[in-house]
Amino acid sequence: MSNEATLHSQQEVMHGAHDHHDHEHHHEDSFISKYVFSMDHKMIAKQFLITGIIWAIIGAFFSVLFRLQLGFPDATFPWLESILGHWAKGGRISPEAYYALVTMHGTILVFFVLTAGLSGTFSNLLIPLQIGARDMASPFMNCLSYWFFFLASLVMMTSLFVQTGPASGGWTMYPPLSALGDASIGSKIGVDLWLTSMALFVVSQLLGGLNYISTLLNMRTKGMAMTKMPLTIWSFFFTAVLGVLSFPVLLSGFILLLMDRHAGTSFYLSDIFIAGKALANEGGSAILYQHLFWFLGHPEVYIIILPAMGMVSEVLAVSSRKPIFGYLAMIGSLFAICILAFLVWAHHMFVTGLNPFLGAFFVLLTLLIAVPSAIKVFNWITTIWKGNIHFTPASLFSIGFVSTFISGGLTGIWLGNSSIDIHLHDTMFVIAHFHIVMGVSAFFGMFAGIYHWFPKLYGRFMNQTIGFIHFWVTMIGAYLIFWPMHYEGMAGMPRRYYDISGWSSFKQFGGLNEFISIVVILVFAVQLLFVFNFFYSIFKGRKMTTQNPWNATTLEWTTPIHAGHGNWPGEIPEVHRWAYDYSKDGRDFIPQTEPIGPNESAH
C-alpha cells in the first residue's frame, strides 16, 4: 500500500471516529466549547481575525494621536486630556506619551495585527480547507496558540494603564534605554510588561507555526501533491518555517534583556553613566541585542508579507479568470525570499560601526532579494494581462498590493546600499519605505483575503459599495501619507522626533506635515467604515446561496456553506489537478476535484 493510500485510509478512520464522536456529543456542544475554547480551525481563525481587528483599531488610533502632534505641534486639543489624562495636560501630548504611542503603534501593528492577525487567521482558515484535511494536526495546540496570543494581548493592554505608562523605547526596544529602569519613565514596569507579552506572543507563534507545518506535510488529501497546492498554502508554509526558525532567537534576546533589568547581568550594558554616576555594569554590548533582534526582525518582514503574497496570487488568478503565471517560479521565488530573509539582518545596522567589509556582503544579499520579488511582480502582472478581470473589493486590493509592493520596494534599493543608508538611516525616508512596502501592502493583502474569504467564514457577503469606497480612499490616502515622507527623509528629517518645528532646516515641512496628518484622519475614518461593514455583514450581509460564489477551483469551495467541524460531511474529495485551471478547453474553470480527461494535460 503506498504512503498516500495509507494516509488516506488513516484519515478515513479518523473521519469515522470523528462522525461517531460528533454524533455522541452533539447535544453537549456548549457556547464555551463552540465559541470560546473551540478546537475547530475555522472558529480559531475568526478569533484571530476579530482580535486582530480590535488591535488594528487601537494601533491605528495611536498613529492618529501622534500625527496630531507632528502636524499641529503648537495647537492644543482639549479633548485629548479627557482621553489621555495627565499624558496630555492642557490638550498637548507630552513627549513621554508621544514616545509611548509611537512604540505601541509599531509593536501592535507589526506583531499583533500583521503577524498574528494575518497568519493566524488565514493559515488557520485555509490550510485544512485547501489541502483537504478535517482540521489541524493538533486542534488542541491550535486552540492554545490563540489563547497564548490572547494572554499576550491582555498583558500588552495592561501596560497601557500602568502609572508610569507603557514601554517607550521604540518597537525595537533597544538597550540601554530599555535595559535601565532609571533611563526614562517609559523604561519602568511598562518594559517588563512589554517583554512578558512578547514572550507569550512568541509561544503562540511557535505553537501555531509547528501546527501549520505538520498539517501541511502530513494531512493532504489523496492526490494533493505538494505541486498541486494553491500558492496560498505554499506561502503559509514558508511563513511558518520562517517563524519557527527566527522567533526563538528573539525570545533569547528578550530573556537576556530581562536579566539585565532584574538580575544584575551585563549582556547589553557597559560603561554607562546615569546623571553623572557610573554604573557597575561592564563588558556587555548593546549591539548584541540588535543582532538578536534583527535576526528575527528581518524575517519578520517576510512573515508579514508572504501570506499577503499568497492570497494576492490566489485572488488575482480567480478574478482574472486566468491560471497563475509561472506557478513553479512563484514557489521558487517564495523559497528564495525565505532563504535570503535570514541573510540580510545587518542591513538594519549599517550605522552601528559594523565592519564596512562585512557590510558589503549584507548590501549584496539585500539587493539580491530584489530578484525573487521582481519575479513575483512580473508574474502577477502577467497573470492579470489580457485577463477577463472581475473587479471586486478583493481584486482591487490585490492590484493595489502589487502597486504598493513595487513602489515601496523600489526605495529599498536606496536603503540597501550602505553608503546611501548612512544619510537616510533613521529618517522619514525609512518610515516611508517600510510603511508602503510592508505596512500598507500587508494590509492590502489582508483586506483582499477578508473580502474574498468572508463568505467562507460567515456564509454572507460584505457590502461591495462600501468595499469600493474603502479601497479607493485607502489607496489614494496611503500614497498621500507616505509618498511625501520620502522627501522629508532625503532632506534629513529624523523619525521619532516629537517636534521638528524648532529646526530651521525642517521648518519648510510644517505645511506638509499638517497635510499628512489630515489625510491620516480621513484614512482612519474609512478603516472604521470597513470595520462597520465587517461586523454588520456577519449578521446582516447578503446570504451566500451557492457553495462556490467566485467560481474558484480550490477545495475550500467544495465544503457546505455552513461547514461543521470536520469540513466535509462525507468523504474528503480527491484531487486530480493543480489549483489554477481557469479558461481551459473552452471552460471558465475546472475544479481541482474533477478527474483529468484522456486528451488533457495535468497543467
Domain ranges of the chain: 40-268, 304-538
Look at the block and give the residue holding cell 539585565: 260
Cα–Cα distance for residue pair 327/579, rounded to 1 Å:
10
Residues paired with residue 460 on neighbouring β-strands, in sequence order: 543
Cα–Cα distance for residue pair 426/551, rounded to 1 Å:
47
DSSP per-residue codes, 280-316: S--S--HHHHHHHHHHHHHHHHHHHHHHHHHHHHHHH
Main-chain dihedrals φ then ψ at residue 584, nearest 5 degrees: -125, 140
Residue ranges of the alpha helices (H) in 108-188? 121-131, 139-159
Main-chain dihedrals φ then ψ at residue 87, nearest 5 degrees: -80, -15
Element (H, E) at 83: helix 78-84
Q: What pLDDT does residue 275 have?
A: 84
Q: What pLDDT does residue 6 have?
A: 45
Record the cell numbers describing residue 581, joined without a space: 485551471
DSSP secondary structure letter of residue 111: I
Cβ-based neighbours of 463, under 8 Å, separated by 6 or more? 533, 536, 537, 541
Nearest to 408 by CA among 492, 493, 483: 483
Q: Which residues of the chain have pLDDT under 50?
A: 1-2, 4-7, 9-27
Q: What pLDDT does residue 25 have?
A: 41
Residues paired with residue 278 on neighbouring β-strands, in sequence order: 273
Cα–Cα distance for residue pair 596/328, rounded to 1 Å:
20
Record the cell numbers describing residue 478, joined without a space: 496611503
Cβ-based neighbours of 437, under 8 Å, separated by 6 or more? 305, 404, 405, 408, 409, 411, 412
Look at the block and give the residue holding cell 457553495: 547
In this prediction the pTM is 0.93
Record the cell numbers describing residue 423, joined without a space: 544619510
Length of the chain: 603
Residue 170's Cβ-count burial label (10 Å; 0-12, 13-18, 19+) is middle
Angle at 484 between CA 479 and CA 488, to 5 degrees: 150
How many separate helices (H) and strands (E) can be counted in the chain? 19, 6
Cα–Cα distance for residue pair 66/61, rounded to 1 Å:
9
Angle at 436 between CA 431 and CA 442, to 5 degrees: 120
Element (H, E) at 543: strand 542-543
**588 Cα distance to chain centroid:** 33
Residue 271's Cβ-count burial label (10 Å; 0-12, 13-18, 19+) is exposed
Main-chain dihedrals φ then ψ at residue 563, nearest 5 degrees: -75, 140
CB 53 within 8 A of CB 531: yes
Task: Classify domain 40-268 at the CATH class level.
Answer: mainly alpha
Q: What pLDDT does residue 585 have?
A: 87
First CA to last CA across the chain, in angstroms?
A: 27
Record the cell numbers describing residue 375, joined without a space: 519575479
Q: What pLDDT does residue 35 have?
A: 81
Assign 461 to helix, strand or coil: strand
Record the cell numbers describing residue 218, joined without a space: 502530513
**Would you tell me which CATH number, out of the four given (3.40.309.10, 3.40.800.10, 1.20.210.10, 3.30.470.30), belongs to the domain 304-538?**
1.20.210.10
Record the cell numbers describing residue 328, joined without a space: 513553479
Q: What pLDDT does residue 20 have?
A: 40
Q: What pLDDT does residue 340 have?
A: 96
Record the cell numbers describing residue 232, joined without a space: 496560498
Angle at 442 between CA 438 and CA 444, to 5 degrees: 130
Q: Cβ atoms within 10 A of the Cβ of 404, count?
A: 24
Domains 40-268 and 304-538 in one fold: yes
Main-chain dihedrals φ then ψ at residue 542, nearest 5 degrees: -60, 130
DSSP per-residue codes, 36-81: IS---HHHHHHHHHHHHHHHHHHHHHHHHHHHHHHH-TT---HHHH
Cα–Cα distance for residue pair 221/135, rounded to 1 Å:
12
CB 188 within 8 A of CB 100: no
